[in-house]
Structure 1
Amino acid sequence: MKKMLAFLFGLCLLCAPLPASASEGVTINVYNWGEYIANGTDGSMDVNAEFTRRTGINVNYTTFDSNESLYSKLAGGGADYDIIIPSDYMVSKLISEGRLAPLDFENIPNFQYIDKQFQNPSYDPENLYSVPYTWGVVGIFYNTDYVEEVTSWDALWDSRYAGKILTFDNPRDAFAIAQFRLGLDVNSTNPDDWEEAAQLLKGQKPLVQAYVMDQIFDKMESGEAWLAPYYSGDAAILVDNSDTIAFAVPEEGTNFFVDAICIPATSQHKAEAEAYINFLCEPEISGANMDYVGYSTPETAAKEYLDPEVADSPLHYPSGEVVAKAQVFVNLPQEVSSLVDKLWAEVKMGGPGESAVLIAIILGFLAVYIAIILYKRRKRKREME
């Protein structure tokens, strides 16, 4: 069904007249999450190719695997992107640091199709810098051959599954899981709350096989791992491709996220980038794109172009009850962000105690090395005398 819809839609696109473009031959650099755009496989539309066909604007498309790696590229100053798609809290961080260009919505008339509930969001309250791309929630994928039905985040601390548990390789998502389990605010500014969550994550570490992002696909599909938290939009990829993988949103609550399209302040092709945003907001394009990607569209008008099984699926469009118990990330104050980074390093290294032991060992080897060098120098000096 999905492939047939995509095929018919593709035929309509091929018959559409091509408008003249003053930007023909220009190349825009697009930086997006992995597995996050329809690319022509499995009967889907190739979104970037269709954009080029319509406008003459070429797309140089690369991917990242976390908001933090995206930020590192931008903050490092070596990146030259025209389009980026960060998550809500990262959008607000980039706005606060002056790293995003205000959008000219005269060039984005299809913004009219974005549902009101996604306009003027908390991370961009005046809607000056971003346009919603997708939304979703975080849940747990689990292998039903080995894992009992999952209803709680507790499953990721269950010693019966030691060595078969994956978790996020980024601090915000990983800490949120611990915070939901503890009943804490995921946007807390109280250092004690983050310390408490860090202690819970340190206790989980011996059970964790690996800290990963997109690697969960291979590890879960192969049976190498049995449990992994990830984003609901990927349920289509994992659940539909396996008879043994299920997805559940834990009862304690979860993260409700929005990924949004933005233009870096350093963009050299802003008008062309706005044309790309406008293209992605066309209901037909958004529908065909999300039909492949599996994430939820912020445009009700686009759902008309989705496979009905997707449009009606609670995996893609969770119930109001699930959404009501979810929390949205906001940008944290710098002092809290610094504390989170420090605690995350401790979690992955095994805590400050193990870190101190490692440092002591390194210093010990260094002291022995220096002593050997000094001994050889004194010996050489005596021989010369």
Structure 2
Amino acid sequence: MKKLMMALLFVFLLIALILGLQWGLSVARQQPSSQKGETLTFYNWGDYIDPSILSDFSKETGYKVNYQTFDSNEAMYTKIAQGGTNYDLAVPSDYMVAKLTKAGLLAKLDKSKLTGMDHVNPQFLNQSFERGNQYSVPYFWGTLGILYNKTKVDGSKLQNWSSIWSEQYKKRLLLVDSARDILGLTLISQGKSVNDQNKADLAAAQGKLSSLMPNVKAIVGDELKLYMAQGEADLAVTYSGEAKIAMEQNKDLAYTVPKDGSNLWLDNLVIPKKAAHKKAAYALINYLNRPDVAAKNADYIGYATPNQKAYQLLPKSVKSDKAFYPEQSILDRLQVYENFNQYWTQTYNDAFLEFKLGKS
């Protein structure tokens, strides 16, 4: 009897051992030990991702996410350059990608570790700020345009940028507080490039811009969308994403991109050179590039996705909205900002400051 009991005990222990090994292997397959407890630091603009995407990513991969935010490209650049925090993934805008790359602050992407790049619309790849996308992957894109109240402004009269100079808009216009944007639209209205680096052209643009001042009610920042939603002004120069938020709060608002062209901005995913968890960074880039995830993110954020397959998954009402997904004829006239050197950055800033002082 004793031998029988010992034999049964041995069999029981053997079965338990086998079951334990199977369970351990199953867990290992779902969450590799190299990922267990590893935390990815993601440096992004505020409220610029659907929070559920980060939690779903963690559940699926085992990587935790430390989400930190910035409010300007310049603030982000300073933090990455200082190196106090080893950010693993960041989201700079077009010209800032060029600046980070030139400063040697970004890791060159290993294309063999990227998936879903074939989902990205070629229109948003190989841009002037980063040829070949050796360091960046498009995240969201948008435009600079005119947000207006349909009950007070005839949108059919906003066909070009010069329309905002009309005397009928006296003290009715809000401007976003941005030198490149406001001088850029003025240059476009004169048939010039937003990246113009000719002193005579800039002086002419500055002269025309000064004549816009009678129409300007205020020059503001993030609060612009709130002012428009509350009816504080009748029209404004702002970004497509900001316009979308205001329009969701006030159904009388509409957004248009002038036919003479505008700025095409692109926010991008990059891996800083000092990233401590590059494997996790690639995993998140690939996850965000999945059509179902990209569509969910675009639906939450309200900005335009560069992911073609994700675009197809969006509601018809969104896909057909020409203000946020313009026709090709408009896209062909959009210009991406180039990274200016210190001289031209200061020159544009000084010109815009003179304009603002004329308001005070």
Q: TM-score when scaled to structure 2?
A: 0.82
2:184 alignment partner AA = A
1:140 alignment partner AA = I
Q: Deviations over 1:260-314 (max 9, x none)?
A: 1112223222222221111111111111111222222222111232112212321
Secondary structure of the 2:138 match is: strand
2:130 alignment partner AA = D
Q: 1:29 to 1:214 in 2, by over 3 A?
A: farther
Deviation at 1:223, TM superposition (A): 1.0
1:69-84 matches, cutoff 5 A: 69-75=75-81, 78=84, 80-84=86-90
Q: Contact (CA 8 Å) 2:176, 2:224: kept in 1 or not?
A: no
1:127 alignment partner AA = N
Matched, 1:124 2:130: yes
Secondary structure of the 1:31 match is: strand
1:276 alignment partner AA = L
1:118-197 matches, cutoff 5 A: 118-149=124-155, 150-197=158-205
Separation in 2, partners of 1:37, 1:24: 23
Q: Contact (CA 8 Å) 1:18, 1:53: kept in 2 or not?
A: no
Separation in 1, partners of 2:213, 2:66: 38
Separation in 2, partners of 1:337, 1:347: 16
Corresponding residue to 2:281 among 261, 273, 289: 273
Corresponding residue to 1:102 among 108, 118, 122: 108
Corresponding residue to 1:33 among 37, 41, 45: 45
Deviation at 1:80, TM superposition (A): 4.4
1:277 alignment partner AA = I
Q: 1:340 to 1:303 in 2, by over 3 A?
A: same
Separation in 2, partners of 1:231, 1:210: 16
- Corresponding residue number in structure 2 for 1:286: 294
Deviation at 1:241, TM superposition (A): 3.6
Please provide the CA RMSD for this pair: 2.6
Separation in 2, partners of 1:210, 1:34: 24
Separation in 2, partners of 1:302, 1:19: 27
Corresponding residue to 2:303 among 273, 295, 298: 295
Q: Contact (CA 8 Å) 2:226, 2:246: kept in 1 or not?
A: no
Q: 1:248 to 1:118 in 2, by over 3 A?
A: closer
Q: 1:48 to 1:75 in 2, by over 3 A?
A: same
Secondary structure of the 1:175 match is: helix
Matched, 1:338 2:350: no
Separation in 1, partners of 2:209, 2:80: 29
Secondary structure of the 2:40 match is: strand
Consecutive aligned runs of 4 or more in structure 1 exceeding 6 Å deviation: none
1:59 alignment partner AA = V
- Corresponding residue number in structure 1 for 2:56: 50
1:61 alignment partner AA = Y
Separation in 2, partners of 1:328, 1:26: 37
- Corresponding residue number in structure 2 for 1:224: 232
Any gaps of 5 or more consecutive residues in structure 1? 1-16, 40-45, 355-385
Q: Contact (CA 8 Å) 1:66, 1:170: kept in 2 or not?
A: no
- Corresponding residue number in structure 2 for 1:382: none
Q: Deviations over 1:119-138 (max 9, x none)?
A: 33322113210001122222
Deviation at 1:100, TM superposition (A): 1.4
Separation in 2, partners of 1:155, 1:84: 38
Matched, 1:64 2:76: no
- Corresponding residue number in structure 2 for 1:237: 245
Q: Contact (CA 8 Å) 2:93, 2:265: kept in 1 or not?
A: yes
Corresponding residue to 1:312 among 298, 317, 320: 320
In the alignment of these two chains, the number of paired residues is 330
Q: TM-score when scaled to structure 1?
A: 0.77
Matched, 1:85 2:97: no
Higher mean displacement: 68-77 or 108-117: 68-77
Secondary structure of the 1:229 match is: strand
Separation in 1, partners of 2:221, 2:71: 6
Q: Deviations over 1:80-111 (max 9, x none)?
A: 43222122222112211212111223332222
Matched, 1:20 2:32: yes
Separation in 2, partners of 1:251, 1:74: 38
Q: Contact (CA 8 Å) 2:94, 2:265: kept in 1 or not?
A: yes
Deviation at 1:324, TM superposition (A): 1.8
Q: Contact (CA 8 Å) 2:43, 2:89: kept in 1 or not?
A: yes
- Higher alpha-carbon Rg: 2
Q: Deviations over 1:139-192 (max 9, x none)?
A: 110112332323232344345444442222222222211111222111112122
Deviation at 1:77, TM superposition (A): 5.2
